[in-house]
Amino acid sequence: MIAARRFGVQSRLSANVLWSAFGAASSQGFALFASILTARILGKNLFGEFGFIQTTIASLTVFAAPAIGITATTFIARYRDSDPARAGRIIALTNILTYLMSIFVSMAALVIATLFSPIFGNREASNLITLGVAVMFVSAVNGAQYGVLAGLGDFAWIAKINVIKGAVTFIAVPVLAHTSGLGGAVVGLFTVSLTAIAFTFWRINCSIEQYKCFPNYRGCRSEISLLWSASLPALVGSVIGGLTLWAGPAVIFSAQNGQSEMGLFSAANNWGAFLMFLPGILLQPFLSQLSSYVGCKQWTELWETARKYLRVSLVVSAVPAFFVMCLSSQLLSAYGDTFSEARKSLIVLCAYAVFASVAGAAGYVLMSLGKIWLTVLLNLIWAVLFICTLFLLRSLGAFGLASTFAISYFFHSVICLAALRIVKSSHLQEQHA
Quick one: which of 337, 364, 362, 367 has its CA closest to 418?
Answer: 362
Q: Which residues contact 325 (CB under 8 A, 6 or more apart)?
A: 346, 347, 350
Q: Give the pLDDT mean for 378-387.
A: 94
Quick one: which of 236, 124, 140, 240 has its CA closest to 183?
Answer: 124
Tell whether the model's pLDDT for residue 411 goes beyond 90.
Answer: yes
Measured CA distances, 94 to 224, 234, 281, 374, 382 (Å)? 10, 14, 22, 23, 28
Question: 121-125, 293-297, 394-398: lowest mean pLDDT where?
Answer: 121-125
Tell whether the model's pLDDT for residue 360 goes beyond 60.
Answer: yes
Q: 129 falls in which pLDDT band (50, 70, 90)?
A: low
Distance CA 349, CA 271 (A): 8
Distance CA 320, CA 336 (A): 23
Count of other CB atoms within 10 angstroms of residue 243:
16
Quick one: which of 53, 66, 52, 422 has its CA closest to 240?
Answer: 66
Helix, strand, coil fractions of the chain, as percent rounded to 5: 95, 0, 5
Q: Give the pLDDT mean for 294-302.
A: 66
Tell whether the model's pLDDT for residue 3 goes beyond 50.
Answer: no
Residue scoring higher pLDDT (5 or 418): 418
Q: 235 falls in which pLDDT band (50, 70, 90)?
A: confident
Instruction: State pLDDT tens for residues 34-79.
Output: 999 999 999 888 888 888 888 877 777 766 666 677 777 778 877 8
Quick one: which of 134, 55, 380 has its CA closest to 238?
Answer: 380
Q: Give the pLDDT mean for 133-160.
A: 81
pLDDT of residue 144: 79
Distance CA 375, CA 147 (A): 19
pLDDT of residue 22: 72
pLDDT of residue 7: 43
Domain extent listing, the chain: 2-428
Distance CA 433, CA 422 (A): 17
Q: Give the pLDDT mean for 112-140.
A: 67
